[in-house]
Chain A
Amino acid sequence: MSTPYVPPHLTVPVGARDHTQGSAHARVVLVEYGDYQCPYCEAAYPIVKRVQRELGDDLRFVFRNFPITNAHPQAEWAAETAEAAAAQGKFWEMHDYLYENQRSFEDPRYFAAFEAKLGLDVGKLTQEVERSAYARRIEEDFSSGVRSGVNGTPTFFVDGIRYDGYAEVHPLVAALRNALKK
């Protein structure tokens, strides 16, 4: 009577618009839908780093925005900041810095100092964040997540299939190695 459980699939495949780390020819792809202000994403951040080290060149990692702003009032600002940094070629630096400094979100000056250190045009970045220059892109990410079965953050996809296990190093590595065998 009941049909077997099938995890949802990624509806928008990884493409040129995505922020990716690792080789485009990597054998397995891990996609994360994340919210910079979510404590569970903060917890997953070093885990993903370890998973990347474990898998090495076999893994390509993709990050997409899924800000849940009714719970996290700074999530949109943070996503805009990362996207504005991306426009200046520093997405991953900002992505990492946001997750490493989640507790300083109330103080934008703290981030301005980092932006200057990265060699970013701080005036341009600030202005883009203020006018929500990347709102549409963030919405597109959110919407693709919703249609792919992202129901909270972080949500991971291993080769396009939602990963329903724990966001811990060993189960994630096992799922990715399993995908490598296919």
Chain B
Amino acid sequence: MPKATDGKPSILRAGAKAPNFTLKTTPDQSVSLEDFRGRPVVLAFYPADWSPVCSDQMGLYAQVMPEFKKFDAEILGVSVDGIWSHLAFSKERKLNFPLLADFEPKGEVSRLYGAFEATTGEAARALFVIDKKGVIRWSFLSPDGVNPGADGILSALEKLE
């Protein structure tokens, strides 16, 4: 597991094999990273559901979905919120991709990717682009409070081709 030296997460980097995981997305549905083998996956860790509306990272990704689809990429949002929060948040923001609950044990998958902020008990805003063989090809840890947007993801997906 990546070590955090100063309380800041140290995320997995390009070249590392993406650790597999299984997380709940609805009360009776789970999603595993391996389900998407053969397609690129974008993993977007974020601190919490219900951040302010217009600069909301997940809402932006829903809007950018047609661009992600050009690369046949699947996007998965991950936070430590529970499934009921995810369901309500997803409905309210009209999200069109799964949100995964890294809820129990709390932050376990975020930790696997080095994307857990121990000081806040939340996931960091960390992005991973994983290729169809399950290898991380790009990762990015956003500065505190900065929505990382989609430009880095799209550039990384382009380079997979």
Interface majority SS on A: helix, strand, loop or mixed? loop
Collect the chain A residues with CB atoms within 8 Å of residue B147's CB: 151-152
Instruction: Judge whether B151 and A146 touch: CB under 8 Å.
Output: yes
Interface size on B, residues (CB 8 A): 23
Chain B 13-54 near chain A by CB (<8 Å), digits 1 or 0:
000000000000000000000000000000000000000011
Using known A-B contacts A151-B55, A153-B54, determine if residue A71 contacts B93 with beta carbons closer than 8 Å.
yes
Residue B104 CB within 8 A of the other chain:
no
Interface majority SS on B: helix, strand, loop or mixed? loop
Instruction: Judge whether B149 and A150 touch: CB under 8 Å.
Output: yes
Residue B57 CB within 8 A of the other chain:
yes
Using known A-B contacts A8-B151, A71-B93, A151-B149, determine if residue A143 contacts B67 with beta carbons closer than 8 Å.
yes
Chain B 56-89 near chain A by CB (<8 Å), digits 1 or 0:
1101101110010000000000000000000000
Residue B135 CB within 8 A of the other chain:
no
Could you tell me the distance in whole angstroms from the C-beta of A138 to the nearest C-beta in chain B?
12
Could you tell me the distance in whole angstroms from the C-beta of B149 to the nearest C-beta in chain A?
3
Using known A-B contacts A5-B143, A71-B93, determine if residue A40 contacts B54 with beta carbons closer than 8 Å.
yes
Q: How distant is the Cα of A142 from the Cα of B57 in the complex, in angstroms?
A: 15
| B 99-127 contacts with A by CB, 8 A | none
Collect the chain B residues with CB atoms within 8 Å of residue A38's CB: 54
Using known A-B contacts A35-B54, A164-B146, determine if residue A68 contacts B59 with beta carbons closer than 8 Å.
yes
Which residue on A lies nearest to B5, using beta carbons?
A1
Please pick, from B54, B62, B94, B149, the residue contacting A8 in the complex, using a CB distance under 8 A. B149
Interface residues on A, range: 20 to 34
Using known A-B contacts A70-B94, A151-B147, A164-B146, determine if residue A146 contacts B59 with beta carbons closer than 8 Å.
no
Instruction: Judge whether B148 and A151 touch: CB under 8 Å.
Output: yes
Q: How distant is the Cα of A44 from the Cα of B28 in the complex, in angstroms?
A: 44
Please pick, from B56, B143, B151, the residue contacting A148 in the complex, using a CB distance under 8 A. B151
Residue A69 CB within 8 A of the other chain:
yes
Residue B4 CB within 8 A of the other chain:
no
Q: How distant is the Cα of A143 from the Cα of B64 in the complex, in angstroms?
A: 8
Collect the chain A residues with CB atoms within 8 Å of residue B150's CB: 146, 151
Please pick, from B60, B94, B143, B154, the residue contacting A151 in the complex, using a CB distance under 8 A. B60
Instruction: Judge whether A147 and B57 touch: CB under 8 Å.
Output: no
Collect the chain B residues with CB atoms within 8 Å of residue A69's CB: 63
Residue A46 CB within 8 A of the other chain:
no
28 sampled A-B residue pairs with Cβ under 8 A:
A5-B143, A8-B149, A11-B151, A38-B54, A39-B54, A40-B54, A41-B54, A68-B59, A70-B59, A70-B62, A70-B94, A71-B53, A71-B56, A71-B59, A71-B93, A143-B67, A146-B60, A146-B150, A146-B151, A146-B154, A147-B151, A147-B154, A148-B151, A150-B149, A151-B55, A151-B148, A152-B147, A153-B54
7 tightest CB-CB pairs across the interface, nearest first? A152-B55, A151-B149, A70-B94, A151-B147, A38-B54, A149-B151, A40-B54
